Amino acid sequence: MKIVVTGAAGFIGSHLVDRLLREGHQVVGIDALLREDWRHVQFANLANALQDANFIWIRKNMLEVELEPIAADADIVFHHAAIAGVRQSWGSEFGQYMDANIRATHRLLEACKHGQLRKFVYASSSSVYGGSEGAVSEDAPLQPVSPYGMSKLAGEHLVRMYYLTYGVPATSLRYFTVYGPRQRPDMAFHKFFKAVLEGRSLPVYGDGSQTRDFTYVADVVEANLQVMKLQKHGNVFNIGGIERASVLDILQLMQELTDRDVRIEYLPKQAGDPDHTRADLSAAREKLGYIPQIGLRAGLAEEWNYIRQLYA
């Protein structure tokens, strides 16, 4: 099949590209590498794909590339291109979130509305819920507490509109705190491990008691492949992991895995950071057969190996 992956050089997108190529698909990856300071990481993410004859890389901005010819004969579209991150979405930076998360999604859906797609998969976020002490199901109130969460929810609304109006065969996946090799340099575990490697203090916002449902990237990729085969459309699924833990729990585990001292620099809690997140996976388990496989200790060990190699 011909499969389009936007955000192909990114954290999740690059893992998905590699998996699709291993399964023999033709993959068109779209990624402009907008962050110059991250390009060495993103080129490394695409290293395997660029050696595969079944991979085509379109290095253009989603707001500039001609999407209609790309989507016209595509079988599947995975839309992972976005600007992520809660803390940077406030203030003057929000215009970038509008462009990358809302306008680009709208352009892609316009290009797909008259095609012959089998599936359009939209990468959403648990940030659409805000936060919750207990496990949230897909029908829980959607109350984002950051501009980033709002932008992802707006993308979900666009996806549903194009399903209802034009029959775009879409499904949205709400990811819960994904981690693992190839994490972006601005993501917490990447920053934590790099600080440990360099003997610096780790920045922790708040008191570290906040908890997350942590999801290993390979489990997220598996969920994408499962939903690719789903014949029903217009739906949404939570994609979470095996374990929930606090930030302090994670730091203790990192100290054990690295066998190095972990020094913490406590910083003020940031606007838009929920205290707790937790996924109810009942729907994904029942309708996709999604069962996460990788626990925190094994997943963090893989990320630590990646960080050491990246900064060797």
Which tokens go with 247?
A: 């930030």
Give me the catalytic one of 129, 148, 163, 179. Answer: 148
At 272, which amino acid appears?
Answer: G
148 catalytic residue (yes or no): yes
Q: Which residues participate in catalysis according to the annotation?
A: 148
